[in-house]
Amino acid sequence: IRALASILKYSQHYDITAYETKVISGQYGFIAQLNYPRHLKERPAEFRVEKVYQMGQEEVLFQFEASEDCEVQFHLSAPFDVENSPSVVSINVSPIKYGHVLLIPRVLECLLQRIDCVSFLLALYTAAGAGNPHFRLGYNSLGAFATINHLHFQASYMALPFPIQKAPTRKIITSGGCVKISELFNYPVRGLVFEGGNSLQDLSNTVSDACVCLQENNIPYNVLIVDCGKRIFLFPQRYA
């Protein structure tokens, strides 16, 4: 993934490293980045796709099947059925941050933008495999800034810690798999924090169960995976 980040500037619509990033003074140290070309050069929704699925009265177009070959850089070899259902890491040609890539679980299955236990475990394996605390993954549900209804995670590098990583927390409970669940405390954004567990599987199951619960109750949400997959933030939202 680190090697992939080094070639992004030759494959994307603009060079993200040419624009300034700064920490805003104040209590929280929010990070601001100038990225004005993105709204002008972001690739529009694809219509040249091979499959169109009918769901009720809505057509669902699967964009990632139409990605250019040069955008898909490699298949992940975590403990999943890679040969029959490959999960790929693809260049984001309209990046937000340095090294911005997309993790697309089981790309040929044309999964909708809904987390399940298998896809979330893949995201944690990806974070752990990168082995770099500056590499983080995120997920936006529909209604929480996801624009494509095809399952994908966002990932990128940033040398600075996100302000949310330094936010105070207050413990709520410890799950049966020894996963510690806390809430953000004295912070302008509400959310849950998951960490620990007897295994990566335990941590993944606990977080994915919470995500599935939100999905079933039609509540949009965002996820941030940090610390090489050892800590996960979950932010329930209102529809954006």
The span from the CA of 195 to the CA of 182, in Å, is 9
The three-point CA angle 184-185-186 to 5° equals 130
The two three-digit tokens of residue 56, written as one number? 């009720």
Cβ atoms of 123 and 80 within 8 Å: the answer is no
- Is-catalytic flag, 150? no
From residue 37, give the alpha-carbon distance in Å to each of 15, 18, 118, 170: 9, 11, 35, 40
- Other CB atoms within a 10 A radius of the CB of residue 224 amount to 19
* Catalytic residue (choose from 13, 75, 100, 152): 152
The two three-digit tokens of residue 58, written as one number? 């809505």
The span from the CA of 231 to the CA of 217, in Å, is 24
φ, ψ for residue 207 (rounded to 5)? Answer: -70, -45
74, β-bridge pairs: 89
- Other CB atoms within a 10 A radius of the CB of residue 58 amount to 8
Q: Which residues are catalytic?
A: 152
